[in-house]
């Protein structure tokens, strides 16, 4: 049995666990404020806020309901646009969108309001920049984003600079109804969850639901993202271990990762959108085997090892060809681990796409490098979008080892990198364009390595 709280009501849906929440909301619950747009997690029209019980109470984040299976919502608080008010008054964000003419046809507006509300409930900081960042997965086709930014600024500027209890503050300011204070207790009183798991494996679902939503809608998947044993990020000082079900949101907010690689957060901001990062998993990005899998590129540079239940394998040996993996049909990736870099080691990661955010890379790359007195002591370079799978540039790395960084060394490294790849022309750019991008990225990595500064 699946049970959860939808807005202010306990619900017990009689449906398969794989049914997308969007379909349940619109077809079975009559909550049609959540709009159906692209069904690929790209437009943000179907955004809802999902609250999961955590160590510090309910942890809220905005997610795309078109890619969210209802079995994942079991034991959680699902909030739609209808759940933000209990009367006729608008929330401050709704009122500001009206006042600033930030809505025309209105189709995208509910999703934007939900993204902003998710930011209020779950963001570490409340600022105009964090609020605008929360809208990185919402597309508006007719209004223009300047009016939206004015509306956001007018609300954020009125929020208290300090508060003791965020939930109480948001209720007092009119952003959420008072019933939110009872949710944690009410979730604990729900009947025990017994979601059937007899079909497909689903982690974040942000890719598989794009391609197989109709099939999964009638299934009862096993939800790997609910398995706590593979959702942790830990280190013993020598090795960093990341559970395969860790989300990109967790990765970006991890103190372990930020302490080691302070600038990786900027790169992770370019991985999809806020709604997708809340659900997409690290393991899914690796097993998906996309030639431009963002985090796979980074882990290749970090000399990562993949751990399954009964064996381990270097990530550099995992990809056998396009969408071909050294992985048995019944195997599940449980962890990714990599050695803690030596002091002075720099990780830089770059991604170039047609759009700066919420887009697939044309070429992405990472470099782990340690330079002492202008001599390369250690280096690993990886690249995506230039081969049938995420590629470790072994020849380029071997050439750089022990060499003094100079213009001649950098130019030669760029030429060797070009000789190691075999990009194809496609919608993301011509072969020549991708080669030029790779050369530019290798040069940028090495230039920053020379100045001892991470990108």
Q: What is the pLDDT of residues 163-175, one digit of tens each?
A: 788 999 999 999 9
Among 192, 225, 258, residue at a domain's last position: 225
% pLDDT > 90, the chain: 84
Residue 455 has pLDDT above 50, yes or no: no
Q: Please tell me whether residues 344 and 426 are part of one structural domain.
A: yes
Looking at 184, 199, 225, which one is the last position of a domain? 225
Mean pLDDT computed over 422-451: 91
Question: Domain check: are 281 and 391 in the same one?
Answer: yes
246 and 210 fall within a common domain? no
Q: What is the pLDDT of residues 297-306, one digit of tens each?
A: 999 999 999 9
Q: Which domain holds residue 440?
A: 227-450
Give mean pLDDT, residues 238-267. 95
Q: Quick check: is 455 in a domain?
A: no
Only one residue has tokens 């930011």, namely: 119
| CATH code for position 296 | 3.30.465.10
Q: Which of 188-197, 230-239, 255-264, 286-295 has the lowest mean pLDDT?
A: 188-197
Helix, strand, coil percentages in the chain from 3-state DSSP, rounded to 5? 40, 20, 40
Does residue 123 carry a pLDDT above 90?
Answer: no
Whether 180 is covered by a domain: the verdict is: yes
Both 301 and 385 in one domain: the answer is yes
34 and 180 fall within a common domain: yes
125 in Cβ contact with 133 (< 8 Å): no
Give the residue-averaged pLDDT of 336-344.
Answer: 96
Report the candidate in 154, 108, 114 with the shortest Cα–Cα distance to residue 134.
114
% pLDDT > 70, the chain: 98
Give the three-state DSSP class for 415.
helix
Domain boundary among 190, 225, 260: 225
Q: What is the mean pLDDT of residues 377-400?
A: 97
Is residue 369 within 8 Å of 346, Cβ to Cβ? yes
Q: Which residue has the higher pLDDT, 311 or 198?
A: 311
Residues 177 and 240 in one domain: no
pLDDT of residue 144: 78
How many of the other CB atoms lie within 10 Å of CB of 2? Answer: 24
pLDDT value at 52 more than 60: yes
pTM across the whole model: 0.93
Mean pLDDT of the chain: 93
* Closest by CA position to 223, among listed 195, 251, 254: 195
The predicted-structure confidence for 207-223, as pLDDT tens digits, reads as follows: 999 999 999 999 999 99
Q: Is residue 34 part of a domain?
A: yes
Whether residue 404 sits in one domain with residue 258: yes
> Which residues are CB-contacts of 96 (< 8 A; sequence separation ≥ 6)?
102, 151, 152, 154, 155
Per-residue pLDDT averaged across 307-336, rounded? 95
Provide the token pair at 19. Answer: 């049914």
Q: Which helix (H) or strand (E) holds 239?
A: strand 239-243
Across 131-141, average pLDDT? 92
pLDDT above 80 for 202: yes
Average pLDDT estimate for 150-177: 91
Identify whether 11 is part of a domain: yes
Helix axes 109-122, 145-156, angle to 10 degrees: 30
Could you tell me if 438 and 415 are in contact, meaning their C-beta atoms sit under 8 angstroms apart? no
Range from 124-128, 130-134, 305-309, 404-408 carrying the lowest mean pLDDT = 124-128
Strand 222-223 with 201-202, pairing: parallel
Q: Do both 196 and 320 map to the same domain?
A: no
| DSSP per position, 297-356 | HHHHHTT-EEE-SS-EEEGGGTEEETTEES--TT----EEEEEPPPTT-EEEEEEEESSS
| 443 lies in some domain | yes
**The pLDDT value given to residue 196:** 73
Predicted local distance difference test score (pLDDT) of residue 454: 45
Task: Specify the pLDDT at position 274.
Answer: 95
Provide mean pLDDT across the span 317-323.
95
For residue 55, the domain's CATH number is 3.10.20.30
Q: How far is the C-alpha of 66 from the C-alpha of 213, rounded, in Å?
A: 9
Same domain, 1 and 79: yes
The length of the chain in residues reads 455
Would you tell me how many other CB atoms lie within 10 Å of the CB of residue 184? Answer: 15
Least confident stretch, 70-74, 363-367, 424-428, 448-452: 448-452
- CA-nearest of 304, 454, 258, 293 to 364 is 293
The answer to whether 349 touches 267, Cβ cutoff 8 Å, is yes
Task: Compare 434 and 195 and report the one with higher pLDDT.
Answer: 434
Residue 87: predicted pLDDT: 83
Q: What domain count does the chain have?
A: 2
Please tell me whether residues 213 and 285 are part of one structural domain: no
If asked whether residues 173 and 246 sit together in one domain, one would say no
451 pLDDT more than 70: no
pLDDT bin (cut points 50, 70, 90) of residue 199 is: confident
Who's near 249: CB < 8 A, 6+ residues apart?
Answer: 61, 274, 277, 278
Average pLDDT over residues 227-231: 91
Same structural domain, 294 and 219: no
| Half-sphere exposure (Cβ direction) of 279: Cα atoms closer than 13 Å | 30
pLDDT at 453 over 90: no
Q: How far is CA 61 from CA 78, 228, 273, in A?
A: 10, 18, 12
Give the model's confidence band at 192: pLDDT under 50 very low, under 70 low, under 90 confident, else very high: confident
Other residues' Cβ atoms within 10 Å of the Cβ of residue 394: 13
Q: At what angle do helices 407-420 and 431-450 cross, to 10 degrees?
A: 140
């Amino acid at each position: 049995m699946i049970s959860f709280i939808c807005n202010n009501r306990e619900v017990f849906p009689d449906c398969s666990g794989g049914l997308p929440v969007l379909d349940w909301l619109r077809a079975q619950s009559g909550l049609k404020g959540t709009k159906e747009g692209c069904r690929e997690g790209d437009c943000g029209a179907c955004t809802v806020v999902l609250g999961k019980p955590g160590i510090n109470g309910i942890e809220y984040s905005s997610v795309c309901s078109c890619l969210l299976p209802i079995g994942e919502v079991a034991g959680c608080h699902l909030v739609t646009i209808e759940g933000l008010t209990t009367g006729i008054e608008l929330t401050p964000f709704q009122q500001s969108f009206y006042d600033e003419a930030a809505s025309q046809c209105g189709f995208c507006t509910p999703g934007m309001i939900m993204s902003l509300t998710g930011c209020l409930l779950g963001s570490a900081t409340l600022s105009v920049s964090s609020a605008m960042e929360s809208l990185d997965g919402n597309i508006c086709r007719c209004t223009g984003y300047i009016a939206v930014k004015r509306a956001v600024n007018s609300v954020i500027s009125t929020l208290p600079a300090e508060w003791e209890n965020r939930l109480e503050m948001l209720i007092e300011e009119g952003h959420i109804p008072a019933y939110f204070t009872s949710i944690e207790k009410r979730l604990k009183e729900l009947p025990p969850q017994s979601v059937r798991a007899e079909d497909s494996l689903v982690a974040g679902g942000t890719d598989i639901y794009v391609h197989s939503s109709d099939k999964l809608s009638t299934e009862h998947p096993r939800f790997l993202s609910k398995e706590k044993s593979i959702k942790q990020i830990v280190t013993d000082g020598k090795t960093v271990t990341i559970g395969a079900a860790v989300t990109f949101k967790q990765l970006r907010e991890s103190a372990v990762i930020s302490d080691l690689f302070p600038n990786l957060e900027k790169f992770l901001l370019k991985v999809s959108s806020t709604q997708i990062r809340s659900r997409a998993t690290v393991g899914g990005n690796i097993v998906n085997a996309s030639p431009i899998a963002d985090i796979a590129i980074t882990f290749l540079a970090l000399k990562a090892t993949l751990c399954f239940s009964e064996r381990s394998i270097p990530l550099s040996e995992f990809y056998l060809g396009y969408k071909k993996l050294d992985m048995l049909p019944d195997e599940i990736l449980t962890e990714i681990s990599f050695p803690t870099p030596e002091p002075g080691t720099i990780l830089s990661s770059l991604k170039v796409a047609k759009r700066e955010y919420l887009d697939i890379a044309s070429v992405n790359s990472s470099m782990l490098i340690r330079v002492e007195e202008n001599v390369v002591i250690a280096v690993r370079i990886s690249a995506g979008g230039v081969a049938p799978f995420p590629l470790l540039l072994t020849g380029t790395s071997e050439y750089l080892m022990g060499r003094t960084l100079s213009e001649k060394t950098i130019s030669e490294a760029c030429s060797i990198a070009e000789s190691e790849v075999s990009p194809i022309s496609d919608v993301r750019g011509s072969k020549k364009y991708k080669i030029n991008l790779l050369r530019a990225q290798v040069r940028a990595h090495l230039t920053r390595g020379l100045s001892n500064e991470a990108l």
